[in-house]
Structure 1
């Protein structure tokens, strides 16, 4: 395993900016206001060939443990367990604060090696803060500018004696596995959990993991960044161990209610998470039922071509469960007619009810979403479909459908070739899509069909 490095510091010192600099992408949300980051976010970092896992954490605040900032601090403290090094980031321009000194005292009592990082040190404005930071007793500070990329080479020099040997060992092990001809394992199931605020998305993931990995609480909208957690699930029926990448996302409210810049950034980040997912679980709150916003989220997921499942959470406190389940089933079929029969589950993040069934179905749904149909079998179905229901002949002009091919998968895409396809009614296109889903094993997967006619060589441009 690659060495793990944790970024720690009080709010607004540039921890997420440093994280983004080291991973080479803008993964973590960054804003001028303090306290943007609330959950731990991991990324693959590389400095001059030294590869390691970097972990961004919430800003350290001196608050009651029961408050939201207090729970965020607890998450940061837990993140240090198992780490190989810590980057303690201070704001060189602001100078040392009492909170910096408190964090420094706590870090001195830990067994993890600490590298002191004086961020925002570009220009003369940061010189005083760099000199002042020596008083923390954590060795020579590394002066950097995470925003402009200055001082990264010095950071490499400070980290190499701590994690260099482990990074080299991890790289050697990976190269050896490739040289021995080991097959690369199949990628983990990328499973994103989406829904309105306070539906219990983070609580559900914590239940699956068996630990308080993500910050939760009664406050709506706690999650801001989309957080990915790699995990292994053991199927209790078969005993198979399967790799899963769980992706928690920010709650999505009605667009007109989203006015704050930070919430807009969070929702945009959640949408990007859907793009990278394979299967998406839309989590509903059993105490609130299915609302119009849920259907809008579901439609967005289907428009992106992701495989979609729906789970009704808080089932342990649902009133008249049978009526609720059947009502949501009917509303989904009516509101999302393009994918009738979406997988629907009753679950409880509190008790764990239904979660294994949900995961088992998610793997099956990914198989359908990734499926390819042999051309011969596809065209046998196509011929039968045309014979059972020939295309219409508007105005006496015959529409000829010649053949069909699968152009891609994940999501499944098909191309139908023929003549006068611009005259083919939408209802007949729906007939073909429904037939593909029903007869070729695509069930509730979003299927796309494109019509193509050969270009008329005699037509004028």
Structure 2
């Protein structure tokens, strides 16, 4: 599981960087009495009373034109909010709630993730009236806090424990520092009788899983540890997924939902197709589900030994894949035979490459160089005589790659143009086959007339 992310936000000089240093346990963030010292997002790993998360220190939120330095700092902060699992919204308890706090409280509310309100600089009971005033922000109960003196850490720990995503218990079993590092989690999914268990038995070199000609033998999502070329792999075989309307048996319904859990647990999902009848409607539905869950995808054409004598078939199937599955354009399509043990090495190479693409990070400067060229070559359309402007872009997450665009009137951007941008990102930064997420953030600045 990805480490959860906690973003510290608030207007300038409320003590965000002091809180960041307190959580990380070292002075990684520069702290000064002058507002606006932090200009970029700064990240650190935190182990805090059994909790483990990544914390992001952000620039102070200020209303500014997008083209200015302050405006770009604000965009970086908005990107951090977008990427966060939890937001720590910090106010200065001694100053109380200021008008500048309100628009940013609204921004954090709109992000839709859990918010913990921290009334900082309330050491020794001072500033408690300002802390109580924070109720007016509508972000829940404030925690009276002193980042400088460490007061309120117990209350903050309890609040974080209540809202941070729960780690998967299987994650705790793995030692990331052990030889071979962390296991790559791979789920094998597909229609019933696509040959999933036969493939896994061949990978493991032993008959670990029950197989047979009857469809639907596997009832459970089964987790198996394996090693490929020194790389630790955790394999999940899953029950065959069939259309809901065709599922009458209660046990099979449970098995299919267990298969969905395996997809959510996996980093890479191998969708196994029967090469003799590929790209059935159910195959496309399964791939669409894997993409919507944001997992890296590899398509395995199983039973290839039965059709290998048909010239040009592989090229045709890859073209069909591009046409039928534009949302995972460039996905690896690997012919193989689980029964004969052919193509397994190529399949695993594709799995490891898909994981690397899924986890890829691209610098903000490279993204904005690309954006400038893409919008010059094909400018966004005009709405009511006013051209849509995309001012800035950044990657807010990986696993899968998630990008945020900032500008004006982006809510009016046609789907065809967002498709153009996604395809451009995929091509420019070599992101074949992976789901790509795009968030559009329209400027709320009343002085930004575009």
Shorter-normalised TM range: 0.5 to 0.7
- Which residue does the alignment assign to 1:194? 189
SS at match of 2:406: strand
1:410: Cα distance to partner? Answer: 0.3
* Pick aligned residue for 1:416 from 405, 408, 411: 405
Taking the TM superposition and a 5 Å limit, the aligned residue runs for 1:50-449 are 186-234=181-229, 241-318=230-307, 320-449=309-438
SS at match of 2:215: coil
Rate the CA distance shift 1:380–1:183 in 2: closer, same or farther, 3 A: farther
1:330: Cα distance to partner? Answer: 2.7
1:414: Cα distance to partner? Answer: 0.5
Alpha-carbon contact 1:289-1:324 (below 8 Å) kept: no
Count of residues in correspondence between the two structures: 277
- CA distance, structure 2, for counterparts of residue 288 and residue 275 of structure 1: 27
Alpha-carbon contact 2:295-2:435 (below 8 Å) kept: yes
- CA distance, structure 1, for counterparts of residue 239 and residue 368 of structure 2: 43
1:184: Cα distance to partner? Answer: 7.8
TM-superposition CA deviations, 1:297-346 (whole Å, max 9, x none): 00000000111111111111226533442343232222211222211011
Alpha-carbon contact 2:180-2:232 (below 8 Å) kept: no
TM-superposition CA deviations, 1:242-283 (whole Å, max 9, x none): 111111000011221111111111000001100011111111
**Uncovered stretches (5+) of structure 1, i.e. residues with no partner:** 1-173, 235-240
- CA distance, structure 2, for counterparts of residue 400 and residue 440 of structure 1: 22
TM-superposition CA deviations, 1:149-189 (whole Å, max 9, x none): xxxxxxxxxxxxxxxxxxxxxxxxx9xxx9xx967853111
- State the Cα RMSD in Å: 2.4
Alpha-carbon contact 1:281-1:309 (below 8 Å) kept: yes
- CA distance, structure 1, for counterparts of residue 354 and residue 414 of structure 2: 30
Q: Greater shift after overlay, 402-411 or 377-386?
A: 377-386
SS at match of 1:322: coil
TM score, norm. by length of structure 1: 0.57
Alpha-carbon contact 1:417-1:453 (below 8 Å) kept: yes
Alpha-carbon contact 1:392-1:398 (below 8 Å) kept: yes
**Uncovered stretches (5+) of structure 2, i.e. residues with no partner:** 1-171
SS at match of 1:390: coil
